[in-house]
Amino acid sequence: MKCESFMWAERAESRILDHTREVFPGPFVTGMAANVVAGECRMGPIFGGMLLSGQRAAELVFGRLGR
């Protein structure tokens, strides 16, 4: 199991979309949870990254549902 990294807002913010994904058939991770699962800096994505991560997760879910 990966551990979350230290606080680094710029890095966490820039990588949050890469970590927003389906982690197993069905469950998706978004926001700070996505960074924790990836072993990335959890704290930091507080600006547009949180919003964009949620939007990306919604797109992934819609894609999974075939819409």
Whole domain around residue 40: which residue ranges?
Answer: 9-64
Residue at 34 is within a domain: yes
How many domains would you assign to the chain? 1
Nearest to 31 by CA among 55, 11, 60: 55
Residue at 48 is within a domain: yes
Residue at 4 is within a domain: no
Residue at 20 is within a domain: yes
Segment 19-66, tens digit of pLDDT: 999 999 999 999 888 888 888 876 665 668 889 999 999 999 999 998
Give the predicted TM-score (pTM) of the model.
0.79
The predicted structure's pLDDT at residue 60? 95
Residue at 2 is within a domain: no
